[in-house]
Amino acid sequence: MGNALRFSRRSVLRTMTAAGGLGALGAGLPWTPAMAKTLVIGFLYVGPRDDYGYNQAHAEGAAAVKAMPGVKVLEEEKVPETIDVENSMESMINLDGASLLFPTSFGYFDPYVLKEAKKHPDLTFLHCGGLWTPGKHPTNVGSYFGYIDEAEYLSGIVAAYASKSKKLGFVAAKPIPQVLRNINSFTLGARSVDPTITTAVVFTGDWSMPVKEAEAANSLIDQGADVLTCHVDSPKVIVETAEKRGVFCTGYHASQATLAPKGYLTGAEWNWAKVYTDFVKMVQGGIKPPNLVRGGLKEGIIKTSPYGAAVSDAARKHADDVKAKFMDGSFVIYKGPIKDNKGNSVIAEGKSHGQTDIALESMNWLVEGVTGSIS
Amino acid sequence: MDHASLGWWGVPLAVLAGAIRVSTPFLFVSLGECLTEKSGRINLGLEGTLVMGAMSGYATAYLTGNPWAGVLVAGLAGSLLGTLHAMICALERVNDIAVGIALMLLGTGLAFFLGKPFIQPQAPQLPSIPFGWWSGSAQVRSALDINPLFLVGLALAPLLLWGLRTTRWGMVLRIVGESAEAARAMGYHINRVRLLATAAGGFFAGVGGSFLSLSYPGSWNERLSSGQGITAVALVIFARWDPVLCVWASLLFGGAGALGPALQSVGVTQGYHLFNAAPYVLTLAIMIATSSSRHRLAGAPAELSVTR
């Protein structure tokens, strides 16, 4: 047996030379030719990616990217909006060779994404929700977001037709401009059908508080609201509570139709699949993605859930008509005169704010017909 | 106003309904912790146990189709974590509070890891008993849809009180908690008693967790508990280690938690952050009002590491 393990000096030397040569060859070759074919893309989520909400909407977009040829997708969930996100991006870049990163939560932007972008000027960072400012932020950073309140306006129309009590309920996390804009658009949509409709708002104080959200939903239903909607990270609990109590609901972020087969009317959904595949195609084709991307139904960044069985024909027709106007860009939600719920005029007669108007991104009022206050 | 709306009557109703709906996990965890602390040991890991119970209960209910099997498995998972705590604490020079914190992290981490596939599916829910059948109002009927687990908790509290006061087992438990040396002199196995008390406490906390995922709010996700387990541990001190007072403390917390959303839904919207903080303000106020720098908390077991 010992013979089998005995090598002649010559054969050992030969093997070693060959191996050394191979190693030198490998070291000499740059990795890029092999990598150029596969684009490594990293997605970072702030919560679990199957939350029926914000993160699931992004993960569905990532899944669409995964199906494209020539890409490798990395995903990391539950990355806190702290230095952790920097570390996660670092490891995606250094260990896996990611060259395109999608940090999808609002709080990642400043300072973490900006810092990483300065450190790696040859990589691309596309962030959801931030406002990229030329001259101030690095050029390899982009920010994208959608006017989801267009879909909320349509949900409001559908909700108005379904409501018998003329009272709608809105469970919201925090009174920030994005949320207020959704509440206002939802209410304006409903009141375009019936101006006597009111929306009661309950703020829970944080993005994910399942017990408080269930309490808020029950309180609103007890007060006579018969259509509920929400702006929280995961609408699951609210939609399930509405279904249990036998009232209608409209969804947010992603489709929750399977959770409420009887009461789910429609919903405002992100269409990240389109946004992400477009971005990836640009990068693959050697085109630099634009730094600031915004859009609504027309641009395909937003979509609505298919109508539920409980939606009447009149409601479908009304909502579809308005949707068609959104699609050709002729519809403006914030057209004066509009009063806030304290009776002050916030948009004067004859004045209108189109979707891209930056004034809407600092909204700090609730429209007439909303019961609630932001402080 | 509309006929279906209750107006201001909605607030006391919501507080009552909230007290019934939200208090059950507090109740079970605090009863469990009460039992454990009576034996002279603190298990801070009950937050992890609660989350683990919620996850394992939901998963079992989904896989077997039987929510009661879920409750049982949640309890067993809880007692397993309790046993682990007791076994580690039985070693020499081990601090039970540190072990508790470690187990809290272990329990939540394990539950998140194992619970990943169960966030999406919907598990069958525990049925509730419609005590509101006599009322014509849908709101009252819904408020009085009471889950049997809440009733079990209510019955358990006086039973525990009676058991601790009058039965032999209860007395042994209290001796171990009051004076380990006396118990040793009488020939009782201190670690064995504490093991049983911690395992039983873990069982209750696990069952409390299954209420969260199988009844109210009734789904499994990673933010489900948001600190209820740790709040319940504090409730035990608040309730002076008395199981019946634990019931009142839990009801108070549940009701106070419902106050914020209820007031907002009737249109009292100013200062909702303050109303949302109501339970914590209340606890602080009562703690300050009843504490003293001169003597140790009445009812505190003498062997507890925090009071010793």
pLDDT tens-digit profile of A214-243?
Answer: 999 999 998 899 999 999 999 999 999 999
Nearest-by-Cβ selection for B226 from A165, A209, A245: A209
Count of structural domains within chain B: 1
* Per-residue pLDDT at B190 exceeds 70: yes
**CA–CA separation, A145 and A295 (whole Å):** 7
Q: Is the same domain home to A341 and A227?
A: yes
Touching check for A50 and chain B: CB below 8 Å? yes
Give yes or no for a contact between A194 and A160, defined as CB atoms under 8 angstroms apart: yes
B271 in a domain, yes or no? yes
**CA–CA separation, A355 and A297 (whole Å):** 11
Residue at which a domain ends, from A146, A181, A216: A146
Pairing of strands A302-304, A264-270: antiparallel
Nearest-by-Cβ selection for B262 from A219, A241, A259: A219
Q: Is the CA virtual torsion B237, B240, B242, B245 positive or negative?
A: negative
Q: Which residues of B touch A167 (CB under 8 A)?
A: 2, 5
Q: Is the same domain home to A98 and A162?
A: no
B96 in a domain, yes or no? yes
Q: Do A211 and B260 touch (CB under 8 A)?
A: no
Q: Is the same domain home to A226 and A118?
A: no
A284 pLDDT band, cuts 50/70/90, is very high
Q: Is the same domain home to A184 and A250?
A: yes
Judged by CB atoms within 8 Å, which residues 64-93 of A form the interface with B? 78
Nearest-by-Cβ selection for A223 from B222, B265, B272: B265
Nearest-by-Cβ selection for B216 from A48, A214, A219: A214
Mean pLDDT of A309-332: 95
Bridge partner list, A367: A340
Nearest-by-Cβ selection for A50 from B4, B14, B120: B120
Touching check for A291 and chain B: CB below 8 Å? no
- Residue A311 CB-half CA count within 13 A: 24
The pLDDT assigned to A129 comes to 86
The alpha-carbon gap from B18 to the nearest alpha carbon of chain A, in Å, equals: 7
Residue at which a domain ends, from A91, A116, A146: A146
The pLDDT assigned to B295 comes to 61
Residue at which a domain ends, from A146, A164, A196: A146
Mean pLDDT of A271-300: 92
The CA distances from residue B60 to B57, B109, B114, B307, in Å, are 5, 18, 12, 39
Give yes or no for a contact between A106 and A261, defined as CB atoms under 8 angstroms apart: no
A168 pLDDT band, cuts 50/70/90, is very high
Whose CA is closest to B246, among B48, B86, B23, B20?
B23
Q: The tokens of B289 are what?
A: 């009002």
Write out the H or E segment, with its range, that includes residue A170: strand A167-172
Q: Do A372 and B257 touch (CB under 8 A)?
A: no
* Per-residue pLDDT at A360 exceeds 60: yes
B46-64 and B10-38 helices cross at what angle (nearest 10)?
110
Whose CA is closest to A202, among B140, B291, B108, B260?
B260
B135 pLDDT band, cuts 50/70/90, is confident
- What CATH number is associated with residue A255? 3.40.50.2300
The pLDDT assigned to B303 comes to 84
Largest CA distance in chain B: 72
Q: The tokens of B123 are what?
A: 């598990």
Q: Is the same domain home to A74 and A182?
A: no
3-state secondary structure of A76: strand
Q: Is the same domain home to A243 and A167?
A: yes
The pLDDT assigned to A29 comes to 47
Mean pLDDT of A130-159: 92
The pLDDT assigned to B68 comes to 96
- Residue A246 CB-half CA count within 13 A: 7
Q: Is residue A81 classed exposed, middle or buried when 0-12, 13-18 and 19+ CB atoms within 10 A define those classes? A: middle
Q: Is the same domain home to A219 and A119?
A: no
The pLDDT assigned to A366 comes to 95
Q: Is the same domain home to A62 and A164?
A: no
Bridge partner list, A201: A170
3-state secondary structure of A293: strand
Using a pLDDT cut of 70, give the percent of chain B over it: 94
pLDDT in tens, B217-268: 888 888 888 788 988 988 888 888 999 999 999 998 888 888 888 888 887 7
Judged by CB atoms within 8 Å, which residues 146-205 of A form the interface with B? 165-167, 169, 200-205
A186 in a domain, yes or no? yes
Higher pLDDT, A143 or B137: A143
The CA distances from residue B75 to A314, A339, B236, in Å, are 51, 55, 20
ipTM of predicted assembly, 2 dp: 0.84
Q: Is the same domain home to A157 and A60?
A: no
The pLDDT assigned to A5 comes to 53
Nearest-by-Cβ selection for B265 from A202, A259, A373: A202
Using a pLDDT cut of 70, give the percent of chain A over it: 90
Touching check for A96 and chain B: CB below 8 Å? no
The pLDDT assigned to A6 comes to 59
List the helix and strand counts (H, then E) for chain B. 13, 2
pLDDT in tens, B70-103: 999 999 999 999 999 999 999 988 999 999 999 9
The pLDDT assigned to B144 comes to 87
A26 pLDDT band, cuts 50/70/90, is very low
Q: Is residue A211 classed exposed, middle or buried when 0-12, 13-18 and 19+ CB atoms within 10 A define those classes? A: buried
Q: Do A215 and B258 touch (CB under 8 A)?
A: yes
A283 in a domain, yes or no? no
Among A223, A227, A239, A255, the strongest candidate for a mutation testing the B interface, having the largest count of B CBs within 10 A, is A223
* Per-residue pLDDT at A25 exceeds 50: no
Count of structural domains within chain A: 2
A10 in a domain, yes or no? no
A7 in a domain, yes or no? no
Q: Could you write out the DSSP letters of every residue in A202-230?
A: EE-SSS--HHHHHHHHHHHHHTT--EEEE
Closest residue of chain B to A234, computed from CA coordinates: B221
Q: Is the same domain home to A77 and A41?
A: yes
Mean pLDDT of chain A: 89
Give yes or no for a contact between B126 and B147, defined as CB atoms under 8 angstroms apart: yes
Mean pLDDT of A295-319: 95
Block residue for tokens 């009776």: A343
**Domain extent for B111:** 7-121+170-290
The pLDDT assigned to A364 comes to 92
Q: Which amino acid is at A104?
A: T
Write out the H or E segment, with its range, that includes residue A304: strand A302-304
Block residue for tokens 């030969």: A14
Q: Do B217 and A234 touch (CB under 8 A)?
A: no
B1 in a domain, yes or no? no
Mean pLDDT of A244-256: 95
Largest CA distance in chain A: 100
B161 in a domain, yes or no? no
Q: Is the CA virtual torsion B88, B90, B94, B99 positive or negative?
A: positive
**CA–CA separation, B72 and A350 (whole Å):** 65
Whose CA is closest to B80, among B210, B201, B226, B224?
B201
Mean pLDDT of chain B: 88
Bridge partner list, A199: A168, A370
pLDDT in tens, B138-166: 888 888 889 999 999 999 999 999 999 99
**A340 secondary structure, DSSP code:** B
pLDDT in tens, B18-76: 888 899 999 999 999 999 999 999 999 999 999 999 999 999 999 999 999 999 999 99
Q: Which amino acid is at A14?
A: R
**Domain extent for A81:** 35-146
Bridge partner list, A172: A203, A231
Q: Do A236 and B276 touch (CB under 8 A)?
A: no
CB pairs under 8 A between A and B: 139
Return the ∠ at Cα B14 (arms to B10 and B18), rounded to 5°: 180
